[in-house]
Amino acid sequence: MTTVPVSYASLPRFPRDFVWGVSTSAAQIEGAVAEAGRGRSSWDVFAAQAGRIKDGSDARVATDHYHRYREDVALLRGLGVGAYRFSVAWPRVVPDGGGAVNAAGLDFYDRLVDELLAAGVAPVPTLFHWDTPQALEERGGWLVRETAEHFAAYADAVAARLGDRVERWITLNEPAELTLLGYGLGQHAPGRRLLFEALPAAHHQLLGHGLAVQALRARGAGGIGIANSHGPTWAASGDEADTSAAELYDLLLNRLFAEPLLLGRYPGEEWDLAGMLPGPVAEDLKIIAQPLDWYGINYYQPTSVGAPREAGGGAPAEFAGIEIPAELPFAPREIEGYPRTDFGWPVVPAALTELLVSFRERYGDRLPPVVITENGCSYEGIEDSERIAFLDGHLRALHAAMAAGVDVRGYFVWSLLDNFEWAEGYARRFGLVHVDYETLRRTPKASYHWLREVLREQARQDRG
């Protein structure tokens, strides 16, 4: 029998209209990669290449959400969340990335949205969560402007079908990770290793976001945001070399993806980032900086950064399972003194408070209301007390940021289900629900039951 700790009763009270949700992505859970006219994605092709996925797996079946979505919506209903953040698979809707829309692909999301609404769960679709249509990838992917334009047309097609029932939208998920890991370091699809020459992928994703916002607004959509990954950057020491390296890392992973949206400009005049980017950058920034209804932040951990230990070369190092080229002008360092997840990530709830307060201080009234669009951890086991402690600590840290004046409107746990964890394959489990990958049986974990009680307690407090 699953036992549930009682700490949920001592959590601080969140506002009555606070949005509680969980998140997933299509490429990680749907499966059915060759059904109903779906085209190939960059991740389909990447996973088929020997050595790309650490356990040799792929996502052809994943958790089979495409066929089992009713079962998964029932889990959402049982959990008691008010919203479900899922992603729409671009190659399922527009198989070639541009051109003809696949009505059968949209039919699946039609059914999913209706099932969610019938269960009392608000649908929050993300239009792009890394699964670029392979046909576009073969023409340059996000390195070329054409992809941003096709993305806007795809956004319009989804809004035309679902817009009458969807009140919140997310354009992109974590453009920083796709730029860095997919185009910069080659660790994720499409597997390019371009280092700083990957920066056009950042610009074109942001341009695609702005064009998609325009397309959604033209369809009458509101409640539009983005899901950017952010975390505090800590200098490895007070030495000037380490602080300068940390500032550059923070610029590339945080400011590069926040300031074009919030301030309408690229940061880092000393690095002339705008000069490294393609196209009419000044004109593009006017499109990128479309007003947002809210700003989504995915938070997992802070990063300690210092100068490379061997200037000008040396062997690459591995950090958090990612190979870091020695020629980069910064190097992540291990953060000591904190518990770690099974992924090896440090658990630092206070860094979430630090991050949110720093965003409010840096951007002031240019920062829209914030939603935590992802926060979670990888642990094995169904009696997952470590995940409960993680979520408990981060909810308290979130509340502390709100008490300090940050306008936070919602919190989404990553993830509802154990799933295909990108280059890690099925070796990492982030779900509130355990999935047996042989039988696909779903089993709610202790953390699922704990969060259900958290939400019930919040509702009891609301009733007063």
Return the active site residues. Answer: 174, 374
Query: What percent helix, strand, coil does the chain show, rounded to 5?
Result: 45, 15, 40
Beta bridge partners of 295: 370
Query: What 3-state DSSP class applies to 325?
Result: coil
The amino acid sitting at 359 is F
Q: Token pair for residue 451?
A: 């969060």
Contacts of 452 (CB under 8 A, 6+ apart): 78, 79, 80
166-179 core/surface letters (b: 16 or more CB in 10 A; e: else):
bebbbbbbbbbbbb
Question: Looking up tokens 């990958």, which residue turns up?
Answer: 437
Cβ count near 103 (within 10 Å) = 13
The Cα 396–Cα 406 span in angstroms is: 14
Beta bridge partners of 224: 169
Using alpha carbons, select from 231, 362, 200, 363 the residue that is nearest to residue 302. Answer: 231
The Cα 393–Cα 37 span in angstroms is: 44
CA distances from 408 to 15, 54, 399 (A): 10, 37, 9
The Cα 403–Cα 397 span in angstroms is: 10
